[in-house]
């Protein structure tokens, strides 16, 4: 205790010690069931205005309960990239062949995926557990202009236990325009 | 990677340790002065639990001895490293300790340009002592520990002496749980100033957590790194990147064996520690406390380094260099329609095992150090398929002048991509994503690679190696033909630690 009193006066990390306890609230948090790191995916040939689907993003809750997803937005969006629609699909087994890929040139509607579900109740399970459950996030987006469009990731906002949460998925998406090679991932093959 | 297993495994470890609530009292020493105990504070650089044959040990002593960092560690044979005691702690009645180090008290040679410090942790009780080596990195995530955090599991509170309470810290960017086995001082939440490279990659800041046993089979286990998850890296013949314009085809010769977990026996072996006699470093610090040239307050504040204390009369000298040892650290699985590009830029992290002992040529594993690719050694290689990436590392044998104990320590990295050796291409099916030829581009960084047991062999010691997919380390695919990119986890390619590309 004496040490903490001294520290609060001496070290910058101690200044907010008392304020950070909210992380451990009784309400569940939305997380990814693993460490995916930062990833970037680009489609080097895209058609302006064409909807593209990006799925295979598993999310789950860190404890039992339910959260209501209120929105999904791209982070650092450029070239007009926006989330046109999103869907949540519960899984109680591994993806196998059933996840949505990256850059499927379809709309959610044409793919037959409902956008009605907004709740996540699946709880993260230990790797290797016989029980598997998660919710797949599927995004629909498009390149609205003649220039290439990109993002550095997407942010899911949700409500849980009366408060709002945000969860960032660091998966960047780039949709290249044929005449615009300005973005790094839109440049030559090598 | 996985939601809870590390926490649960730790619980099983601590449960085994705590089968008895009996506490072993420290035997009397003429030099014995109790080192102060404090719960975890923001300055905790390493904490944990000490037991003897599963029984909590009260009054064990712990020292944190800093090695020079960065280029200052990479010294020639014959050089005295000039180690410095930067922290000390004693264990409480439940065997818990927490060593505090104030970063501002560390002199320049002991901190690298990213604020990291290499520490040899000496744990002693009675006449026995074990050592563990680790690199403490500065925290970058606002991850509070303590307060009303869940204890002893994700959802339940239960008695888990002697490490009680066990906090389970969710990763901020993922769901991997990291455990903290020592309670915070006063029960208040703290924001750690220190962390580990692997915790940072998991999205949380948690200082090293050790479970130490000084009994008949001495062992030290990192509560957040189970060697059972390490994998083998059977390498075949040397292979080269495919020249531009040429097609790649698998060699006609049989491939090497697949990569597999190292197995229970090897995992147990990795936890066993070499016990040595109590070193003079402990009575030297005890004497300083006794004559009040060092105060318990200085110790709990983590300001021992400011007093400039060498570890007693002992000198740690580099007596032998083993330069240019090959380090196998990453499997690259591709095909002719989607060859891979591997990047190891300046500053890319590699974590490499440290060996202790050396008696009769036998080394035991005793922690690891995290080193970085040097400025000017950045390396990118394209058009790679079915290969282990192999770099080089320079090890040194450091001898202690008092007790003759030797450490085999990684001192610097050489060429991060020296060559490639053939690897078995695993058939992964947990989830696959289609990549379109001449259209899709996929890059991955900022995640951890799998840890490879026996990634380096040096002086008869089999050291583990792990590279981070941090911002300076990257794996990329730019397929020219329809490709299936597959991962090893059922929760998707994005969250898989092993990725392979094959014909779509």
Picking from B175, B443, B493, the nearest residue to A32 by CB comes out as B175
The whole-angstrom distance between A119's CA and the closest CA on chain B is: 19
Between CA B102 and CA B112, with CA B108 as vertex, the angle to 5 degrees is 90
Q: How far apart, in whole angstroms, are the C-alpha atoms of residue B111 and residue B72?
A: 9
Task: Looking at the structure, tell me whether residues B349 and B243 fall in a common domain.
Answer: yes
Q: How far apart, in whole angstroms, are the C-alpha atoms of residue B377 and residue B386?
A: 24
Task: Looking at the structure, tell me whether residues B260 and B279 fall in a common domain.
Answer: no
**Residue spans of beta strands (DSSP E) within B223-336:** 238-239, 276-277, 316-332
Q: Are B25 and B46 in contact (CB under 8 A)?
A: no
Write down the pLDDT at residue B11. 35
Q: Name the residue in chain B with its Cα closest to that of A176.
A: B439
Q: Which residues of B touch A60 (CB under 8 A)?
A: 3, 175
Task: Looking at the structure, tell me whether residues B110 and B196 fall in a common domain.
Answer: yes
Task: Looking at the structure, tell me whether residues B294 and B242 fall in a common domain.
Answer: no
The whole-angstrom distance between B84's CA and the closest CA on chain A is: 22
B113 part of contact set with chain A, CB < 8 Å: no
Q: How far apart, in whole angstroms, are the C-alpha atoms of residue B286 and residue B30?
A: 10
Beta bridge partners of B335: B338
Whether B144 sits inside 8 A of A20 (CB atoms) is: yes
Boundary residue ending a domain (B255, B281, B307): B307
Picking from A13, A14, A94, the nearest residue to B430 by CB comes out as A94
Please list the ranges in chain B whose pLDDT falls under 70: 1-32, 147-166, 170-176, 358-361, 447, 469-471
A95 part of contact set with chain B, CB < 8 Å: yes
Q: Are B383 and B332 in contact (CB under 8 A)?
A: no
Whether A63 sits inside 8 A of B155 (CB atoms) is: yes
Q: Which residues of B touch A11 (CB under 8 A)?
A: 42-43, 102, 104, 193
The confidence band for A34, taking pLDDT boundaries of 50, 70 and 90, is confident
Q: Is the pLDDT of residue A67 over 60?
A: yes
Picking from B445, B495, B497, the nearest residue to A33 by CB comes out as B495
Residue A9 lies in a domain: no
Q: How far apart, in whole angstroms, are the C-alpha atoms of residue B24 and residue B44?
A: 25
Q: Phi/psi class of residue B303: alpha, beta or left (left: φ > 0; alpha: ψ in -120 to 50)?
A: alpha
Closest CA to A84 of A160, A132, A154, A16: A154
How far is residue A132 from each of residues A58, A90, B53, B277, measured CA to CA in Å? 11, 11, 37, 49
Write down the pLDDT at residue B158. 54
* Count of other CB atoms within 10 angstroms of residue B159: 11
Whether A29 sits inside 8 A of B147 (CB atoms) is: no
pLDDT tens digits for A129-145?
A: 788 999 999 999 999 99
Length of chain B: 504
Query: Could you give the residue ranges of the DSSP H alpha helices within chain A?
Result: 2-10, 108-111
Q: Are B397 and B322 in contact (CB under 8 A)?
A: yes
Whether B491 sits inside 8 A of A64 (CB atoms) is: no
Give this complex's ipTM.
0.86
By DSSP bridging, strand B219-222 and strand B461-469 are unpaired
Q: Which residues of B touch A40 (CB under 8 A)?
A: 441-443
A158 part of contact set with chain B, CB < 8 Å: no
Task: Looking at the structure, tell me whether residues B288 and B389 fall in a common domain.
Answer: no
B261 part of contact set with chain A, CB < 8 Å: no
Q: Which residues of A touch B175 (CB under 8 A)?
A: 31-34, 60, 62, 124
Residue A113 lies in a domain: yes
A75 by DSSP, 3-state: which? Answer: strand
Question: A7, A34, A120: which to substitute to probe chain B, counting the most B Cβ within 10 Å?
Answer: A34
Beta bridge partners of B372: B349
Write down the pLDDT at residue B370. 95
A52 part of contact set with chain B, CB < 8 Å: no
By DSSP bridging, strand B419-422 and strand B387-400 are antiparallel
Picking from A21, A29, A128, the nearest residue to B5 by CB comes out as A128
A38 part of contact set with chain B, CB < 8 Å: yes
What would the two tokens of residue B442 be?
């996929």
pLDDT tens digits for B339-390?
A: 999 999 888 899 999 999 866 668 999 999 999 999 999 999 999 999 999 9
Query: Could you give the residue ranges of the DSSP H alpha helices within B214-347?
Result: 264-271, 281-290, 296-300
Closest CA to B176 of B143, B158, B142, B199: B199
A102 part of contact set with chain B, CB < 8 Å: yes
Q: Name the residue in chain A with its Cα closest to that of B300.
A: A3
Between A7 and A108, the more confident residue is A108
Q: Name the residue in chain B with its Cα closest to that of A169.
A: B173
Write down the pLDDT at residue B145. 85
Task: Looking at the structure, tell me whether residues B366 and B336 fall in a common domain.
Answer: yes
Whether B478 sits inside 8 A of A38 (CB atoms) is: no
Q: Are B153 and B11 in contact (CB under 8 A)?
A: yes
Residue A38 lies in a domain: yes
Task: Looking at the structure, tell me whether residues B157 and B248 fall in a common domain.
Answer: no
B458 part of contact set with chain A, CB < 8 Å: no
Residue B187 lies in a domain: yes
Q: Are B199 and B205 in contact (CB under 8 A)?
A: yes
Per DSSP, B7 falls in state H
Q: How far apart, in whole angstroms, are the C-alpha atoms of residue A173 and residue B295?
A: 56
Which residue range(s) make up the domain with B413? 229-264+316-503
Share above pLDDT 70 across residues of chain A, in percent, rounded to a whole number: 85
Question: B483, B494, B497, B501: which to substitute to probe chain A, counting the most A Cβ within 10 Å?
Answer: B494
Task: Looking at the structure, tell me whether residues B161 and B236 fall in a common domain.
Answer: no
Sign of the four-CA dihedral B179, B185, B189, B192: negative
A128 part of contact set with chain B, CB < 8 Å: yes
By DSSP bridging, strand B349-357 and strand B363-372 are antiparallel
The confidence band for A179, taking pLDDT boundaries of 50, 70 and 90, is very high
**Number of domains chain A is built from:** 1
**Number of domains chain B is built from:** 2
Q: How far apart, in whole angstroms, are the C-alpha atoms of residue A20 and residue A30?
A: 18
Picking from B190, B442, B448, the nearest residue to A41 by CB comes out as B442
* B162 preceded by a cis bond (ω within 30 of 0): yes
Beta bridge partners of A165: A158
Residue B224 lies in a domain: no
Whether B154 sits inside 8 A of A62 (CB atoms) is: yes
The whole-angstrom distance between A116's CA and the closest CA on chain B is: 22
Q: How far apart, in whole angstroms, are the C-alpha atoms of residue B207 and residue B211?
A: 13
Whether A37 sits inside 8 A of B448 (CB atoms) is: yes
B306 part of contact set with chain A, CB < 8 Å: no
Picking from B175, B297, B382, the nearest residue to A31 by CB comes out as B175
Write down the pLDDT at residue B372. 93
Write down the pLDDT at residue B147. 65
A9 part of contact set with chain B, CB < 8 Å: no
Beta bridge partners of A20: none
Question: A30, A36, A152: which to substitute to probe chain B, counting the most B Cβ within 10 Å?
Answer: A36
B:339-368 residues touching chain A, CB 8 A cutoff: 341
Write down the pLDDT at residue B404. 81
Picking from B148, B154, B192, the nearest residue to A21 by CB comes out as B148
Whether B170 sits inside 8 A of A62 (CB atoms) is: yes
How far is residue B160 from each of residues B55, B180, B209, measured CA to CA in Å? 13, 12, 15
What would the two tokens of residue A49 be?
């205005």
Whether A58 sits inside 8 A of B176 (CB atoms) is: no
Task: Looking at the structure, tell me whether residues B425 and B404 fall in a common domain.
Answer: yes
Task: Looking at the structure, tell me whether residues B81 and B204 fall in a common domain.
Answer: yes
Which residue range(s) make up the domain with A87? 26-181
Q: Are B271 and B280 in contact (CB under 8 A)?
A: no
The whole-angstrom distance between B498's CA and the closest CA on chain A is: 11
Between A62 and A121, the more confident residue is A121
By DSSP bridging, strand B483-487 and strand B128-138 are unpaired
Interface size between A and B, measured as CB pairs under 8 A: 224
Calculate the average pLDDT of chain A: 85
Q: How far apart, in whole angstroms, are the C-alpha atoms of residue B16 and residue B381?
A: 47
Q: Are B222 and B208 in contact (CB under 8 A)?
A: yes
What would the two tokens of residue B406 be?
């030797």
Q: Which residues of A touch B171 (CB under 8 A)?
A: 31, 35
The whole-angstrom distance between B4's CA and the closest CA on chain A is: 5
Q: What is the mean pLDDT of residues A20-42?
A: 74
B157 part of contact set with chain A, CB < 8 Å: no
Task: Looking at the structure, tell me whether residues B256 and B173 fall in a common domain.
Answer: no
Q: Name the residue in chain A with its Cα closest to that of B146.
A: A21
Residue B382 lies in a domain: yes
Write down the pLDDT at residue B149. 53
Task: Looking at the structure, tell me whether residues B387 and B291 fall in a common domain.
Answer: no
């Amino acid at each position: 205790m004496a040490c903490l009193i001294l520290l609060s006066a001496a070290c910058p990390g101690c200044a907010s010690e008392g304020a950070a306890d909210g992380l451990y609230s009784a309400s569940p948090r939305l997380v990814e069931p693993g460490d995916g790191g930062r990833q970037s995916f680009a489609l080097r040939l895209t058609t302006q205005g064409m909807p593209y689907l990006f799925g295979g993003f598993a999310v789950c809750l860190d404890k039992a309960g339910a959260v209501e997803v209120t929105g999904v937005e791209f982070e650092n969006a450029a070239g007009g990239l926006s989330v046109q629609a999103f869907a949540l699909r519960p899984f109680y087994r591994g993806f196998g062949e059933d996840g949505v890929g990256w850059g499927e040139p379809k709309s959610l509607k044409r793919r037959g995926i409902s956008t009605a579900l907004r709740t996540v109740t699946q709880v993260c399970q230990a790797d290797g557990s016989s029980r598997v459950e998660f919710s797949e996030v599927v995004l629909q987006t498009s390149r609205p202009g003649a220039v290439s469009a990109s993002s550095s990731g997407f942010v899911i906002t949700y409500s849980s236990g009366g408060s709002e949460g945000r969860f960032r998925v660091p998966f960047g998406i780039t949709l290249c325009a044929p005449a615009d090679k300005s973005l790094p991932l839109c440049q030559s093959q090598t | 990677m996985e939601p809870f297993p590390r926490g649960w495994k730790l619980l099983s470890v601590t449960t085994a340790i705590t089968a008895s609530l009996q506490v072993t009292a420290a035997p009397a020493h003429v030099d014995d002065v109790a080192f102060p105990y404090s719960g975890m504070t923001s300055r905790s650089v390493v904490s944990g639990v000490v037991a003897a044959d599963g029984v909590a040990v009260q009054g064990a002593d712990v020292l944190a001895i800093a090695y020079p960092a960065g280029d200052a560690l990479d010294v020639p044979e014959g050089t005295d490293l000039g180690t410095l005691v930067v922290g000390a702690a004693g264990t409480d009645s439940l065997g818990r300790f927490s060593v505090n180090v104030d970063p501002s008290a560390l002199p320049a040679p002991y901190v690298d340009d990213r604020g990291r410090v290499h520490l040899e942790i000496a744990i002693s009780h009675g006449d026995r002592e074990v050592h563990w080596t680790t690199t403490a990195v500065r925290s970058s995530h606002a991850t509070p520990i303590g307060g009303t955090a869940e204890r002893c599991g994700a959802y339940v509170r239960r008695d888990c002496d002697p490490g009680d309470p066990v906090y389970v810290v969710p990763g901020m960017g993922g769901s991997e749980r990291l455990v903290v086995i020592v309670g915070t001082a006063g029960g208040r939440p703290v924001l750690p100033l220190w962390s580990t490279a692997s915790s940072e990659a998991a999205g949380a800041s948690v200082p090293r957590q050790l479970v130490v046993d000084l009994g008949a089979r001495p062992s030290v286990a990192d509560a957040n790194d189970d060697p059972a998850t390490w994998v083998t890296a059977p390498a075949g013949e040397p292979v080269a990147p495919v020249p531009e314009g040429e097609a790649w085809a698998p060699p006609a010769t049989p491939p090497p064996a697949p990569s597999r977990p190292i197995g229970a026996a090897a995992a147990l072996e990795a936890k066993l520690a070499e016990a040595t006699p109590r070193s003079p470093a402990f009575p030297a610090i005890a004497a300083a406390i006794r004559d009040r040239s060092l105060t318990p307050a200085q110790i709990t504040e983590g300001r021992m380094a400011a007093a400039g204390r060498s570890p007693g009369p002992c000198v740690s000298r580099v007596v032998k260099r083993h330069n240019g040892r090959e380090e196998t650290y990453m499997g690259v699985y591709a095909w002719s329609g989607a060859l891979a590009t591997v990047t190891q830029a300046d500053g890319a992290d590699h974590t490499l095992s440290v060996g202790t002992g050396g008696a009769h040529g036998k080394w035991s594993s005793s922690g690891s150090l995290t080193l970085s690719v040097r400025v000017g050694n950045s390396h990118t290689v394209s058009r790679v398929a079915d290969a282990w990436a192999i770099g080089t590392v320079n090890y040194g044998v450091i001898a202690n002048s008092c007790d003759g104990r030797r450490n085999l320590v990684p001192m610097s990295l050489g060429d991060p991509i020296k060559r490639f050796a053939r690897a078995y291409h695993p058939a992964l099916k947990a989830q696959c994503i289609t990549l379109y030829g001449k259209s899709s581009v996929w890059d991955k960084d900022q995640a951890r690679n799998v840890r490879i047991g026996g990634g380096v062999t040096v002086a008869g010691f089999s050291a583990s190696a792990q590279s981070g997919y941090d911002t300076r380390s990257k794996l990329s695919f730019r397929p020219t033909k329809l490709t299936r990119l597959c991962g090893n986890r059922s929760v998707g390619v994005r969250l898989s630690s092993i990725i392979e590309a094959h014909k779509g």
